Amino acid sequence: MQNQQNVATPTSGNALPEGFLWGGAVAGHQIEGGWDEDGKGLSVVDVLTGGAHGVPRRITENVEPEEYYPNQVASDFYHRYEEDVELLAGMGLRCFRTSIQWSRIFPLGDEEEPNEAGLAFYDRLFDTLNAHGIQPVVTLSHFELPLHLARHYGGFRNREVVAHFERFARTCFERFHTKVRYWMTFNEINNQMDTRNPLFLWTNSGVTLHEEDNPREVLLRVAHNELLASALAVTAGHEIDPDLKIGAMISFVTVYPYSCDPQDILAADIANHERFLFPDVQVRGHWPAYALKEIEANGYDIGFQEGDDAILRAGTVDYLGFSYYMSTTVKAGAEDHAEESGIVDGGMPGSVDNPHLGATDWGWTIDPTGLRHSLITLSERYDIPLFIVENGYGAYDTVEEDGTVHDDDRIDYLRAHIEAMKDAVLKDGVDLIGYTPWGIIDLVSFTTGEMRKRYGLIHVDRNDDGSGTLARTPKKSYYWYRDVIGSNGAQL
Ligand code: BG6
């Protein structure tokens, strides 16, 4: 591997505590490829076409021969994980977050017995990581519901799927508990709150809305089933091995009021309910009052059964993982123009542009201070350990003639966010387990299905038309992050 100039410069800040988990994050479906190998079944993402900024991905009925599905090959990690883990070890990574694709283990989702070849792949991956001193951090469901559970059961709108998830979770805990200590149940479980974009309900829960549906009632029913599934998984994991650390994982797009007008402050408070509903239940073990009021006021039937309270109470999480990419700003009255506010870009009904912030080429605001604000907010609200399991800069990269990528903007983005994170730990006393920047190896973008929206510190030669050698090349940011980790965050 060709070395590059050391770009790290000392800062006046201190290092993070010993044992801080510096890492990187990916998801199985966005990096592995091997979509139909070794008995893997189809998942909800296997029928998602490519898209682009402003061009939504389409959900096809099945895998159609004339369509292009970017996740089929992705970054070919399924065949190249050994080389990739070597590269990650070269950066000094202490942990690596990925997901177990549910449909590798239970191809249809409702089988009684797991697919041994699928389990064996993750055995090999986790062994390789551990052999390099890299702890696996594993998400059980990162938008990877088996397609059969979506098509034949209606996804998580059907309570039967809860038991299928619990069986999947148990199978994984039993098989891997000696190799994996940190787990999360559902990735970004709260990103489906905005039902205006069909992608999120589909990928998170395998749910499509029909004309006769009240979207809000469906969402809350799905939420209840998924929260039960998460709680049952946590309880099962702790039964199997009390030392496991099992977390929730939410998308945290911090919400600012547009001004100090009390109406804007209140608009932000109410908008925040959308962010907090899922973690309120997963951390506290019961539905919050504002949601119960909404259910009661609208006469929604979300399928509460006797005994559900006890399940939720017993299955609270050990830590809260979250992704942080951007903030959003809401203004009272702007929800009247909700159709115009961003539905992919972290916006929500009532969101408006923040004049103080710039944005990426995909319209995601760049706001490192918002990360410190998020850490303070979540720490004070929940008082449990936090884990930043996604953060990063999705951007076009330029590959120079000699194959190098000088991604200074990415370095600037990461440096500013790490500074903010350090302030939260060292000045505000936030209890933070670790930091895993997203897409540490280039992979398929979730919202757009593009390769050119790159997050990686390791470049993958793969393009949106399916061309490219899939060769890996460390970017400038790779060497920079290696020095950050080597100094435990003292050198940025
Ligand atoms: C999060 C997801 O929403 O953000 C990831 O957990 C996703 O799966 C990441 O890739 C970045 O989003 P995108 O659309 O830029 O890939």
- Catalytic residue, from 188, 226, 419, 450: name it: 188
Q: How far is residue 76 from each of residues 8, 30, 35, 267, measured CA to CA in Å? A: 31, 9, 10, 44
Q: What is the pLDDT of residue 350?
A: 80
User: What architecture is domain 21-486?
Assistant: Alpha-Beta Barrel (3.20)
pLDDT string in tens for the chain (492-residue length): 344 444 444 444 689 999 999 999 999 999 999 999 999 999 999 999 999 988 999 999 999 999 999 999 999 999 999 999 999 999 999 999 999 999 999 999 999 999 999 999 999 999 999 999 999 999 999 999 999 999 999 999 999 999 999 999 999 999 999 999 999 999 999 999 988 889 999 999 999 999 999 999 999 999 999 999 999 999 999 999 999 999 999 999 999 999 999 999 999 999 999 999 999 999 999 999 999 999 999 999 999 999 999 999 999 999 999 999 999 999 998 876 555 544 445 667 788 999 999 999 999 999 999 999 999 999 999 999 999 999 999 999 999 999 999 999 999 999 999 999 999 999 999 999 999 999 999 999 999 999 999 999 999 999 999 999 999 999 999 999 999 999 999 999
CA 252 to chain centre: 10
Contact criterion met (CB below 8 Å) for 360 and 393 = yes
How many whole angstroms from 297 Cα to the centroid of ligand 1? 34
Q: Using a 6 Å cutoff on CB, does residue 389 contact ligand 1?
A: no
Active site residue 419: no
Instruction: Map out the domains of the chain as residue ranges.
Output: 21-486
154 Cβ partners below 8 Å, 6+ apart?
A: 206, 207
Q: What is the pLDDT of residue 46?
A: 98
- Catalytic residue, from 32, 226, 390, 419: name it: 390
Q: Give residue 93's region: left, alpha or beta (phi > 0; psi -120 to 50).
A: beta
Q: What token pair was written down for 370?
A: 């918002």
Active site residue 61: no
Does this model's pTM top 0.85?
yes
How many whole angstroms from 413 Cα to the centroid of ligand 1? 16
Q: What is the pLDDT of residue 346?
A: 61
**Alpha carbon distance 431, 419 (integer Å):** 16
Q: What token pair was written down for 260?
A: 């100090």
Backbone angles phi, psi at 269, to 5 degrees: -60, -45
SS3 309: helix
Contact criterion met (CB below 8 Å) for 283 and 320 = yes
Q: Using a 6 Å cutoff on CB, does residue 392 contact ligand 1?
A: no
Count of C-beta atoms within a 10 Å radius of residue 122: 23
Q: What is the pLDDT of residue 347?
A: 66
Q: Using a 6 Å cutoff on CB, does residue 438 contact ligand 1?
A: yes
Q: Using a 6 Å cutoff on CB, does residue 249 contact ligand 1?
A: no
Give the CA count within 13 Å in the CB-facing half-sphere of 108. 6
**Alpha carbon distance 378, 369 (integer Å):** 14
- Polymer length of the chain: 492
What type of residue is 468?
Answer: G
Q: Using a 6 Å cutoff on CB, does residue 453 contact ligand 1?
A: yes
Q: Name the closest-CA residue to atom 10, ligand 1.
A: 446
Q: Using a 6 Å cutoff on CB, does residue 252 contact ligand 1?
A: no
Q: What is the pLDDT of residue 2?
A: 40
**Alpha carbon distance 447, 197 (integer Å):** 10
Q: Using a 6 Å cutoff on CB, does residue 187 contact ligand 1?
A: yes
Hey, which of 140, 199, 447 would you mutate to test ligand 1's pocket, going by the most ligand atoms within 8 Å of its Cβ?
447
How many whole angstroms from 353 Cα to the centroid of ligand 1? 21
Hey, which of 446, 450, 453 would you mutate to test ligand 1's pocket, going by the most ligand atoms within 8 Å of its Cβ?
446
